[in-house]
Structure 1
């Protein structure tokens, strides 16, 4: 089979049907619509630190593999933190930026990164994509390659091809087949069950009503308010929002069928807080939260309980609610490993990273076991 590898300047330039033929059933973020929305809204591109450079593999003109690659000039918006390696490189007078990142910008959610057409041999296409990454790294004089939030099977396959495998962790809610939210609560210890009920009750006692709607059901004004909520919180947290106003203005047309928007309203119907999440197949992904003030219990209601209830009612199996947050454990989110793959051109950085990743991997099972002792579920 003759294979051609090329680097495009955007996902938007690739036909949508060809790209989406490579995408699996459960991840909305590697779909053409989401990635092209980031580009077309100028959330990524020149001046953002994320320069799109998707790698494409073709045979006889047919797209059979792709990777959402970006040339990065900083480490913001990645959520697999490598600041210590950048600092070590600076001390050794080794240029760390630019670097090549294969990921979904601003999205710490596990999903395929080396997209492979199901009719073709995955190992062959992965090798071709890696070869394309190396050529792009050389052409851009990038110091390294970073493939972030790969699924476990992809991570293990890539580590066998020589990339350094890093394991970290998040907190994920899994639905074993609950019939209702009350069924879930019935599996918890009494004190934890009462705590969740108290937190949910606080919301209604404040006269606040919540709702969850699909993104394509929202008005233009509601999307605009959602942007204001996003900037009100992300600006305080990160200093500047990653997503532009144009992202929210165009979201309904691009990804409205994948988006889930939660709102909290006062007695007059005015919006006080909101969340933006996404769903596809068996999975739900909580992404962005914002509020116009301090509201007791509303964050937990919109970001966790409302999405858990939706997960159960729609018989989906997995809720990922973003990076970090040990407070999620008491709400039923299990500590779960996450995976990334790395290549450093500097042999010194590669050795240092290998030692650090090995130490993290050695400690992780014990850490996950310790964290799991704080889960709220009754012992059987």
Structure 2
């Protein structure tokens, strides 16, 4: 690390002013690395030591000036990451290795690609990125962590991490992409007639059921919507049994709605004057991020409409380029969501465990291309642009 740089590890994101942190992230940063999002996570108690997320944010200072940072947490479990390493933890246990704590560089409960190296404007980014990688590894070793994991970095950051000796992992999410649709019919035209009829039937079910779906955003959002979003999230967690652990509390939603009013959106489904389902999303001018959904009444195809079709239509209307509906969900493929690579990078300090993980990742990677090809075949999207539009 350069002699003029000083490393400071923050035990709370509030230990640095929001203006200083967000200046590094830049005005177009994804919401998950903004100070307000991390603060809502931590100050609500949703991402604190008590819940297994111990803040250890890496910051580099030149004198009194913050010049670089990485959001980071000592993790005491593997929940809420969505780059699944439970089998690695089991292997460590068999070897007699304490897998937890580990150091995770990324944002809590936010499976979306975002910059992991935040660099001040005008700074030479290359040495500062290397300094942050070094700080992550050294602080993890000194803090008794078994490993370092960079989750959801940008592709160029993953390239650098691989060059620095970390094991790269590529997994898939399914994103909707807008190549320049003029309207919803353009989107439908990319499917064959059978799939097109299926989407029309599923999308039209809400109206036939007397369900009205709309997006609430901006000044219309209030405390009732934050509480409602939490209620939907809690209902979904409850429906998933042991895997549906409630990791966020109501105060997180209240804080997020209050501090990110220009970013938060709530899709609501109303039936007979009552809100019965909803999806909590985050939006930027170019991207929509789906986060949490839930319902209090079951209706056919309601999930697809609230979480997918309604927002796809709005993305076309607003010109957004990408809709990331979150981790998992192969049901999205047949509805026009395309396989998209997401990255992570890993370094395990025990040589035997590190070798085992690297061997696993090589085998996993060998299956990636066939998985992508299979997903593309299932999606069955016709190339864009099309000559004319299909309406049947």
TM-score for the superposition, normalised by structure 2? 0.93
Q: Give 1:223's aligned residue.
A: 226
> Where does structure 2 lack aligned partners over 5 or more consecutive residues?
387-392
**What SS class does the counterpart of residue 60 from structure 2 fall into?**
strand
The alpha-carbon deviation at position 366 of structure 1 amounts to: 2.0
**What is the root-mean-square deviation of aligned Cα atoms in Å?**
1.4
Q: Give 1:288's aligned residue.
A: 292
> Where does structure 1 lack aligned partners over 5 or more consecutive residues?
none
CA change 1:240–1:13 in 2 (3 A) is: same
Q: Give 2:373's aligned residue.
A: 369
2:163 is the counterpart of 1:154:
no
2:88 is the counterpart of 1:85:
yes
- Give the Cα separation in 1 of the matches to 2:257 and 2:358: 43
- Give the Cα separation in 2 of the matches to 1:75 and 1:215: 34
Q: Give 1:262's aligned residue.
A: 267
Which of 34, 38, 63 matches 1:35?
38
Q: Give 2:256's aligned residue.
A: 251
Q: Give 1:234's aligned residue.
A: 237
Which of 175, 182, 199 matches 1:179?
182
- Give the Cα separation in 1 of the matches to 2:151 and 2:137: 16
**What SS class does the counterpart of residue 367 from structure 2 fall into?**
helix
Q: Give 2:11's aligned residue.
A: 9
The alpha-carbon deviation at position 216 of structure 1 amounts to: 4.5
- Give the Cα separation in 2 of the matches to 1:274 and 1:282: 22
- Give the Cα separation in 2 of the matches to 1:27 and 1:281: 10
- Worse overlay, 122-131 or 70-79: 122-131
The alpha-carbon deviation at position 134 of structure 1 amounts to: 2.0
Matches within 5 A, 1:27-106: 27-106=30-109
CA change 1:81–1:216 in 2 (3 A) is: farther
* Matched residue count: 379
Which of 166, 169, 173 matches 1:166?
169
* CA shift digits 1:129-186 (9 cap, x unpaired): 1122123212320000001111111100111111111111110111011111222112
Q: Give 2:23's aligned residue.
A: 21
- Give the Cα separation in 1 of the matches to 2:151 and 2:173: 13
**What SS class does the counterpart of residue 201 from structure 2 fall into?**
helix
The alpha-carbon deviation at position 123 of structure 1 amounts to: 1.7
**What SS class does the counterpart of residue 379 from structure 2 fall into?**
coil
The alpha-carbon deviation at position 52 of structure 1 amounts to: 0.8
- Worse overlay, 130-139 or 73-82: 130-139
TM-score for the superposition, normalised by structure 1? 0.96
